[in-house]
Amino acid sequence: SKTLYFLPQVFQLLTDLKQQRKESGKNKQSSGQQNLNTIMYETLKYISKTPCRYQSPETVRDFLIAMKGHKLTK
């Protein structure tokens, strides 16, 4: 599934953004920025509870290739 493939990338992107914001130390934020921060936080919190936290795009790709011959349905 394409979703399975992209979740590790989303997790890494959000983790990197969180670290960049922490390092920049900017305190004053617009309401739009606060909303974005909330979405990022909630998404990262959810994804952190899934196995993708420990996966890379390469491991997901290898898994999908290995399963291709089994004719699984969605």
> pLDDT of 8-46, one tens digit each?
778 888 888 888 877 776 666 677 778 888 888 888 888
Token duo for residue 62 = 């290898």
Distance (Å, rounded) from C-alpha 67 to C-alpha 17? 33
10 in a structural domain? yes
74 in a structural domain? no
DSSP assignments along 3-46, one per residue: HHHHHHHHHHHHHHHHHHHHHH------HHHHHHHHHHHHHHHH
Query: What pTM was estimated for this model as a whole?
Result: 0.51
Distance (Å, rounded) from C-alpha 50 to C-alpha 30? 31
| Amino acid identity, position 14 | L
52 in a structural domain? yes
- Could you give the number of structural domains in the chain? 1
73 in a structural domain? no
19 in a structural domain? yes
Do 44 and 11 contact (CB within 8 A), yes or no? Answer: yes
Residue range of the domain that includes 26: 1-68
